[in-house]
Amino acid sequence: MLLRSGLSATERMELVREYFLSWGAAAPIVYVIVVIIEVIVAPIPGIMLYAPGGVIFGGFYGGLLSLVGNVLGAGIAAAFMQSFREWGTAKFLKGEKIKPIIAKLQESGVWVILALRLNPLTTSDLVSYAAGLAGIPVWKVMLGTAVGMAPLCLAQSYLAEGLFETVPWLLYPLMIIALIYVVVAFFFIRRTLAHG
């Protein structure tokens, strides 16, 4: 229905809003679950959800829900990778030179995660997987994510609340950017695994 031709950007955004609100009191929970899935399925760009969150729930509440989904998703991704840590350490983190780096990451992981979350060029979701592989405690990943992602989630949600209502056609460039991001991330991950 959302991909149906002939719909304006305003109508598409309204369909997204109506879908989430159709869940009634469970709408915020459904939204958080969708954000968690976005975080766990790393190549999906978060901006596709954080910005509409402002339109659906309002600037502050939409940003807060995006942040909650990011923090929970980061914790799940890090915990998942920690279960593969022994295999990952043997495959990707070989050698004596890497051991001091791993130890330092485990010690001050919250600051590393915070810095990477604040950097807009970092692929945020992959940071959670790398942190789990490096053995950074899950609580540090979640804390660093909460502090580092709060400004981004809230800013995107607040901006989107006004921007998409004023200039709804911005949805189309956003979708194109997201598609390019997914394609680039897919080829980068594929190439990294092929050379690993």
Domain coordinates in residue numbering, the chain? 9-189
Q: What is the pLDDT of residues 81-110, one digit of tens each?
A: 888 766 655 555 555 656 666 676 677 777
Of the pLDDT bands very low, low, confident and very high (cuts 50, 70, 90), residue 2 is very low
Token pair for 182? 């997914």
Model pLDDT, residue 135: 81
Q: What is the pLDDT of residues 28-45, one digit of tens each?
A: 999 999 899 888 886 666
Q: DSSP letters along 101-128, please?
A: HHHHHHHSHHHHHHHHHH-TTS-HHHHH
Better-predicted residue by pLDDT, 17 or 124: 17
Is 161 within 8 Å of 56 (Cβ atoms)?
no
State the pTM of this model.
Answer: 0.72
Residue 151: pLDDT over 80? yes
Of the pLDDT bands very low, low, confident and very high (cuts 50, 70, 90), residue 175 is low
3-state secondary structure of 23: coil
Of the pLDDT bands very low, low, confident and very high (cuts 50, 70, 90), residue 142 is very high
Residue 57: pLDDT over 80? yes
Determine the average pLDDT of the residues in 49-59: 80
Tokens 């031709």 locate to 5
Determine the average pLDDT of the residues in 126-130: 80
CB atoms within 10 A of CB 64: 19
